[in-house]
A and B are shown apart, each in its own frame.
Chain A
Amino acid sequence: MSNLAVYRTGIRTNSADENALLLLVDGQLVAILVELADEGHGEERGRWAVEAIFGLQNDRIPQSFPSAADATAWISASVGREPFRAMEDLIELP
């Protein structure tokens, strides 16, 4: 059983990038991912980026990922965990 947990939440970026995911490992927040929804992102629009990471010091962060699942998989790999598979039914934080 993976002890990586993923929650949906809103994020205030002062742009149309309003959807975020919180990634927790062993109950501790390690990353905030954000959906690039703003028109200003051009070709990057629709992809996911790492908004912030905590406690990871190894890899250079790719600019963006094709999907939330890809972004989550990268974080999982960075913390040495199995990829998180249940991306469909994530818990939504208030």
Chain B
Amino acid sequence: MSELSLNDADDALRASNPLVNKLGRFVPLKEEERDALRHLGRNARLHRRGCDLIAEGDKPDSVFLILEGWAFRYKQLADGSRQIMAYLIPGDLCDIRIFMFEEMDHSIGLLSDAKVVKIPAAEMLDLLDRFPRIERALLWATLVDESTLREWLLNVGQRNALQKISHLFCELCVRMSVVNLVDTSETFALPLTQNELADTTGMTSVHVNRSLQTLREDGLVQTGQGKLTILDFERLARIAGFSQTYLHIDGPPVEQKLRARLAQPM
């Protein structure tokens, strides 16, 4: 695994940790809980695009937290065909109890250079024991990962080429905005090649290319230099049939809404 040391090991600690932004959408966090999450980011390392954080068959002994850059989950067939099952963006953790697996059933690779924290199993378990609200927030995050996977399955199996790409772009825009990585012109980093989009959506890269051309010609998106600009989110969402309900990020934190709902007389 290629690793580069950070110039300043405390960078990640001082910088705002995207995990705090993300989990705050699920459970309102107290300052000591925010501090604990920021503390998790203290041993970040820079890894190069193309390397695997962990590969199928490896024995997992820690949890990965992405602070910067993008990672992805994938599985590969013997002939080299690959299916990408998830993108992990800043603030995302691979499964919080991944170390409970005897061995990995899939691989996690990097789509861009990335700043990643490797959290040892013992530290993760200790954190979950000490901060039950963080544990609940991470449970919400896991539920959303699962609902996102269901949405991706629908995408791969049922939507047409243009809808697949449009839906993915809408989702990524919403997810990146949660961690404050979309600028005012609806532009965000999209470190994906056409091949990677093809392996995500189950299309050939020729078909991905044509869909991208159509979206550009219709004035819906702009691409270039590893970035995507969504020029007309509403129209793109209409083409995709995109509704962000499955991301569970609307309004107050979901746990507040849940408590209010449970408190109402039946």
Q: Is the interface of B mostly helix, strand, loop or mixed?
A: helix
Question: Once the chains are docked, how many angstroms separate the CA of A53 from the CA of B213?
Answer: 23
Residues of A within 8 A of B2 (CB): none
Chain A, 38-64, CB within 8 A of any chain B CB:
38, 40-41, 44, 49-51, 59-61, 63-64
Across the interface, do B210 and A60 meet the contact criterion of CB distance under 8 Å?
Answer: no
Question: Once the chains are docked, how many angstroms separate the CA of A64 from the CA of B205?
Answer: 10
Across the interface, do B209 and A41 meet the contact criterion of CB distance under 8 Å?
Answer: yes
Question: Once the chains are docked, how many angstroms separate the CA of A63 from the CA of B203?
Answer: 11
Q: Which residue of B lies closest to A61 (CB)?
A: B204
Across the interface, do A49 and B206 meet the contact criterion of CB distance under 8 Å?
Answer: yes
Across the interface, do A14 and B210 meet the contact criterion of CB distance under 8 Å?
Answer: yes
B224 contacts partner chain A, Cβ-Cβ < 8 Å = no
Contact among A17, A59, A64 for B210, CB-based, below 8 A:
A17
Question: Once the chains are docked, how many angstroms separate the CA of A24 from the CA of B80?
Answer: 28
A3 contacts partner chain B, Cβ-Cβ < 8 Å = no
Q: Which residue of B lies closest to A51 (CB)?
A: B206
Question: Once the chains are docked, how many angstroms separate the CA of A44 from the CA of B205?
Answer: 10
Question: Once the chains are docked, how many angstroms separate the CA of A59 from the CA of B88?
Answer: 31
Q: How many residues of A contact B (CB 8 A)?
A: 18
Across the interface, do B214 and A14 meet the contact criterion of CB distance under 8 Å?
Answer: yes
Residues of A within 8 A of B205 (CB): 63
Residues of A within 8 A of B209 (CB): 38, 40-41, 44
Question: Once the chains are docked, how many angstroms separate the CA of A13 from the CA of B216?
Answer: 16
Residues of B within 8 A of A13 (CB): 210
Residues of B within 8 A of A44 (CB): 206, 209
Across the interface, do A15 and B79 meet the contact criterion of CB distance under 8 Å?
Answer: no
- The size bracket of the interface on B is 10 to 19
Q: Are A38 and B204 CB-contacts (below 8 A) given A60-B80, A60-B81?
A: no
Residues of A within 8 A of B79 (CB): 59-60
B170 contacts partner chain A, Cβ-Cβ < 8 Å = no
B66 contacts partner chain A, Cβ-Cβ < 8 Å = no
Across the interface, do A40 and B210 meet the contact criterion of CB distance under 8 Å?
Answer: yes
Contact among A38, A50, A63, A64 for B213, CB-based, below 8 A:
A38
Contact among B195, B206, B216 for A36, CB-based, below 8 A:
B206
CB distance from B218 to the nearest CB of A (A): 11
CB distance from B155 to the nearest CB of A (A): 20
Across the interface, do A15 and B204 meet the contact criterion of CB distance under 8 Å?
Answer: no
Question: Once the chains are docked, how many angstroms separate the CA of A34 from the CA of B214?
Answer: 18
Across the interface, do B80 and A38 meet the contact criterion of CB distance under 8 Å?
Answer: no
Residues of A within 8 A of B23 (CB): none
Question: Once the chains are docked, how many angstroms separate the CA of A17 from the CA of B207?
Answer: 11
Identify the 10 closest CB pairs spanning chains A and B, nearest first. A40-B213, A60-B79, A49-B206, A15-B210, A40-B209, A60-B81, A63-B205, A41-B209, A15-B213, A13-B210
Q: Given A40-B212, A60-B80, A60-B81, 9 other A-B contacts at CB below 8 A?
A: A14-B214, A15-B210, A36-B206, A38-B210, A40-B209, A40-B216, A49-B206, A61-B204, A63-B206
Q: Which A residues contact B (CB, under 8 angstroms)?
A: 13-15, 17, 34, 36, 38, 40-41, 44, 49-51, 59-61, 63-64
Q: Which B residues contact A (CB, under 8 angstroms)?
A: 79-81, 195, 204-206, 209-210, 212-214, 216
